[in-house]
Amino acid sequence: MNDHHISRRQRAHEQAIRMQAQGGRVKVLSKTDEPGKIQRLLVLTAAAVLVAGSLLYVTESRAAGAGVHLESPRIDQSNDKSLQRGAAAFVNYCMACHTAGYQRYSRLAQDVGLSEEDVEKNLIFTTDKLGEPTKVGSLMTNNMTTDYGKQAFGVVPPNLSLTARSRGVDWIYTYLKSYYVDPEKATTGVNNLVYPDTAMPHVLWDLQGLQSPVYGEEAHGSRPITGLELTQEGSMSPDEYDDLVADITNFMAYVSDPIKETRHRVGMWVMLFLFGLLGVTYLLKKEYWKDVV
Ligand code: HEC
């Protein structure tokens, strides 16, 4: 390494050592300064990452809603009935286009309290490559090819296994409630407040009915949409529709994290065990030290 690459401090340090050897009294940069500095640097970096992270999170959640207020569904992943209804709606209304490709039917049966026969009879509508009914041990996929999806919708309907994590449950819930009639959309005839210009048709329109936009005051040459109103009733009341969408959202949340309930249950036992162990260890410590102090 040539002189050019040696830092100033290193040179000062070497000079100090030389002078010390010659009997001079110079304060050498002590080695213990280094860890302190590194620690401070680490703390600063961690703080910067946290601040940047929270800023990113804020912009991301705003971008996701595109300024639309996202509603939070009241969902409960331990509610088997809700998951069963959600799964039934999902296989009936969504799986023609989408898959839950990381989830097996058999695992679903086990987790939501159904027998494999129930699932086979009521939830499997697809066939495998040989034309046989899909087996209960299979993944929840469909037969739509990527090419067909692209041709039909312009984008391939995505695998929804992890969407509850990437978009969040509030986004999915509000998305399924925010379709409105938009004659400018030649292909689907509808648009969506949460996901403007989405290629997905309003597949639940016969249940929800059709909503039309309510416009606010004109500003900057256009009139913003301030809300949606039901202009053509569907077969469900608005409350029933909200419940159905909440069940579908709950099911998607389950699929994105099937082990969550087990994790929470095991977590409780682990915490209880640790507290118990704390008691025992404390008593042991008292026993050990009773003759010493
Ligand atoms: C007719 C086909 C079709 C059906 C049926 C369908 N979808 Fe879609 N869906 C699509 C397409 C196409 C997209 C991609 C939209 C885009 O990116 O513009 C999509 C996108 C989505 C997204 C956004 C995913 C993301 O992260 O971008 C969600 C969530 C979704 N669908 C949920 C559902 C649910 C729930 C159902 C059942 C109630 C359903 N879809 C039924 C075609 C369909």
- Averaged over 155-160, what is the pLDDT? 96
Q: What's residue 54's pLDDT?
A: 72
Rg of the chain, C-alpha, whole Å: 30
pLDDT higher for 49 or 157?
157
C-alpha span between 58 and 62 (Å, rounded): 6
Q: What pLDDT, on the 0 to 100 scale, is given for residue 89?
A: 97
Establish whether residue 177 lines the binding site of ligand 1, counting it when its CB lies within 6 angstroms of any ligand atom: no
Is 94 annotated as a binding-site member?
Answer: yes
Phi, psi for residue 168 in degrees, rounded to 5 = 95, 150
25 pLDDT above the threshold of 60: no
Structure confidence at residue 289 (pLDDT) = 94
Q: Is the CB of 246 under 6 A from ligand 1?
A: no
**Segments making up each domain of the chain, as ranges:** 3-63, 66-258, 259-293
pLDDT tens column, 59-79: 444 444 457 899 999 999 999
Distance from the CA of 98 to the center of ligand 1, in angstroms? Answer: 7
Q: What percent of the chain has pLDDT over 90?
A: 70
- Cβ atoms of residues 197 and 173 within 8 Å: no
Cα(210) to centroid(ligand 1), Å: 18
Specify the pLDDT at position 38: 76
> Ligand 1 in contact with 158 (CB < 6 A)?
yes
Read off the pLDDT of residues 269-285 as tens digits, 9 standing for 90 and up: 999 999 999 999 999 99
Q: Which of 27, 33, 34 is nearest to 13 (CA)?
A: 27
Is residue 85 within 6 Å of ligand 1 at its C-beta? no
57 CA to centre of ligand 1 in angstroms: 24
- Provide the pLDDT for residue 65: 45
Q: Is the pLDDT of residue 24 over 70?
A: no
User: Is 98 assigned a ligand-binding role in the annotation?
Assistant: yes
Listed as own residue / partner, the contacts of 153-159 with beta carbons closer than 8 Å and 24 or more positions apart are 153/97, 153/199, 153/200, 154/199, 155/199, 157/97, 157/98, 157/200, 158/98, 159/98, 159/99, 159/100, 159/101, 159/102
> Which of the listed residues 70, 95, 98 should we mutate to test ligand 1's pocket, taking the one with most ligand atoms within 8 A of CB?
98
Q: Is 119 in the pocket of ligand 1 (CB under 6 A)?
A: no
- Average pLDDT over the chain, rounded to whole? 88
Confidence of residue 144 (pLDDT cuts 50, 70, 90): very high
Cβ-contact 137, 105 below 8 angstroms = yes
Ligand 1 mutation target, pool 200, 203, 255, most atoms within 8 A of CB: 200
How many angstroms does the Cα of residue 159 sit away from the middle of ligand 1? 9
Residue 198: pLDDT band by 50, 70, 90 thresholds? very high
Q: Which residue has the tokens 């039309």?
A: 212
* Nearest residue (CA) to ligand 1, atom 5: 94
Q: Which residue has the higher pLDDT, 107 or 45?
A: 107
pLDDT (0 to 100) of residue 93: 97
Higher-pLDDT residue of 52 and 239 is 239
CB of 88 closer than 6 angstroms to any ligand 1 atom: no
Per CATH, which fold does 66-258 belong to? Cytochrome Bc1 Complex; Chain D, domain 2 (1.10.760)
Count Cβ atoms within 10 A of the Cβ of residue 106 and give its class: 0-12 exposed, 13-18 middle, 19 or more buried.
middle
- Whether residue 13 is annotated as binding a ligand: the answer is no
